[in-house]
Structure 1
């Protein structure tokens, strides 16, 4: 047995045998006497990925609301498992609280560590999602959760598992925080260099671009393949960087139908739907790829502005304010190429833009190193989780 693997010396048990499984509900919203009290009331939307502890909630209920909805006030340490919209998000209650009907919560007995159960359920989230039933939306019933079987090791092994995984989680949080700080560094440097220019609008994006258009806008899922031409989507576009952990590929013959939309290094991608107006520059390794419904900006060869400057300008408060004025839609917001073409652009001295581009390139090197460390640690974490819970 590997030295780093706690022995699984326990037996298969049902969660209902080692935990008290409780649900929740929603007090009537049209009765103001139910709301605005001191009792915390959590919803699935407040359970964030990789955040282990919920210490406060967006809404609070009164004792009247608790009685009216027959809510159970759960103790701190309760495992909060979402069982509808969506299934499989999990966290610990950092204080006494109750919940809505989107949860089946587990109050652990002395036989099972809540920290251990938190990590096991997070590892099993895909399996739990497959167990959901329902026509309108999938849901896990109290019976299903109570009957769910886990192999429960001795408490010493549970605590050792938690210790090893939580130490890696702390390192991952530190590294992810470094990425946030690097992004903030780029934003601060942009303001420092261009603060006196970004408010001086001298032209529009259309006037400095070869074209501003949208990527492939026709149905493309039928052309998905395991290996082919990368097709970037809105979800891959982050502020000043591409997130390439969830790429899709399309058939080369299908991609060839859209030759004019092939990306070039230095193009600027701007999200069109979901969270419109997020921009990044296309790196060299994605030259020749396609995009799905993202906006593509290609600057003229003799453009007086650089791609790095334009990308950060779109991501800046000035750009966000412009996008906010022109985006449309309520449930699914979108922002079109016609509006983006009209975005006012200040033109700082080229030397300053090149200085900023060089700075961004150095930050990208640091970001790449940090991202590599994250990927290695995440691989180790996933490997250990599979050993402990698989």
Structure 2
């Protein structure tokens, strides 16, 4: 049996704080999910709600220690309520429809506390519902871990061949001043076909116009295109700012300056936002080879150590393209691509599996919550 309850009667409310990003072990959550990592945590075993902006009313959960950013509100269930059940109940509630705010959507503690939801007070039923839905999420998380391992394998192969210089046939190649014969050191600028700042627009949840890739969308390990918003843009501007397979985008400002993603496979019409810079390389540099380097911690550290800005770190196109890269002959680049392409194909399969699992869970979710399926 379902009863109506105010959120204030079943939840404790807390605020997030501005994060300090690092290569730490604790996940940092923003309104759009995972946005980075930190050496510090400020919450544990809780639900994260998007507080402001395009993802106002978003719902996430972390059963470990984590950092919640200042654009989130954190909630924990009171005694007698299962954390995972409340997470799924909130996930099926259109919290964004309660948002206020003139310039942009905003949800406050007061707004949330006054919302009524229908729940079962039977803790055993709560746990059964959570177990069913969690089975889908466990499969999704397992695929995410497998994807992360594939990404790591690609980075390790790059280091083995092009940092430690243990590439196929390296025993027969003469090395002078740290550079194998036939290889050369170059700045990224020397092998660029183009470099361009992104488009300025407001993100839209509704499917109006192309996907609008932002910094928060490239910080996680993988771009989740399903969660990337849209924007309105003219056809002439779309031609200037569109993304295609092989493009590389780099964050040029803020705490995540230097974060980068190569667009491995794009199935949507998409453009990139103004705080990103798009890199396209000429025929001297294979984009997959370039992408592994530009996504690396070493490249990110280079950008962060050389960017300007006192209050807000900023990296312009000159800094982003000034990093040095060791360029092997094209035959080695293509051989490297041949090794990696099966890994990327497997990664894409896992991503599609996760999309299907998510859709199946989302179809089941409201039926379980509304009592249409008897347990």
Partner of 2:230: 248
- Residue in structure 2 matching 1:324, options 275, 295, 304: 304
RMSD: 4.5
Determine the C-alpha separation between the residues in 1 that align with 2:311 and 2:112.
Answer: 33
- Aligned residues, how many? 328
In the alignment, is residue 178 of structure 1 matched against residue 151 of structure 2?
no
Moved more, 225-234 or 178-187: 225-234
Q: Is the CA contact 1:270–1:277 (under 8 Å) kept in the aligned structure 2?
A: yes
Aligned CA distance change for structure 1 residues 250 and 359 (closer, same or farther; 3 Å): farther
In the alignment, is the contact (CA less than 8 A) between 2:4 and 2:116 conserved in 1? Answer: no
Other structure's SS at 2:136 match: helix
- Give the Å deviation of 1:190: 0.8
Structure 2 runs not aligned, ≥5 long: 17-26, 35-39, 66-71, 167-177, 371-375
The alignment's TM-score, normalised by the length of structure 2, stands at 0.69
Give me the whole-angstrom Cα distance separating, in 2, the residues matched to 1:257 and 1:47: 30
CA pair 147-271 structure 1, distance change in 2 beyond 3 A: closer
List gaps (5 residues or longer) in structure 1.
Answer: 1-8, 27-43, 52-56, 61-75, 96-100
Q: Which residue of 2 aligns with 1:107?
A: 78
Deviation at 1:197, TM superposition (A): 5.2
- Structure 2 CA distance for aligned equivalents of residues 267 and 102 of structure 1: 35
Instruction: Tell me the equivalent position of 2:2.
Output: 10
Aligned-pair distance for 1:25?
Answer: 9.4
Question: Could you say what secondary structure the match of 1:186 adopts?
Answer: helix
Aligned to 1:277: 258
- Work out whether 1:297 is the aligned partner of 2:279: yes
Secondary structure in 2 aligned to 1:202?
A: strand
Residue 388 of structure 1 is matched in structure 2 by 368
Residue 202 of structure 1: how far off its partner (Å): 1.6
1:367-387 Cα offsets, whole Å, 9 max, x none, are 111011111111111112111
Cα separation, 2, equivalents of 1:224 and 1:82: 16
Q: Corresponding residue for 2:119?
A: 151
Q: Which of 154, 160, 179 is equivalent to 1:192?
A: 160
Distance 1:287 1:170 in 2: 27
Quick one: structure 1 residues 283 and 256, their matched pair in 2 at CA, closer, same or farther if it must change by over 3 Å? farther
Post-superposition shift, 1:212?
2.5
Question: Residues 7-46 of structure 1: matches in 2 within 5 Å?
Answer: 9-14=1-6, 19=10
Give distance in 2, aligned partners of 1:94 and 1:280: 27
1:250-265 matches, cutoff 5 A: 250-251=232-233, 254-257=234-237, 259=239, 261-263=241-243, 265=245
Greater alpha carbon shift after TM alignment, 161-170 vs 268-277? 268-277
Q: Does structure 2 retain, via aligned residues, the 8 Å contact 1:224–1:250?
A: no
Tell whether 2:173 aligns with 1:202. Answer: no
Q: How many angstroms does 1:192 deviate by?
A: 1.4
Alpha-carbon shift at residue 104 of structure 1 (Å): 5.8
Is 1:167 the equivalent of 2:135?
A: yes
d(CA) in 2 for partners of 1:232, 1:46: 18
Kindly name which structure, 1 or 2, has the bigger radius of gyration based on alpha carbons. Answer: 1
Mapped contact 1:47–1:89 kept (Cα < 8 A):
no
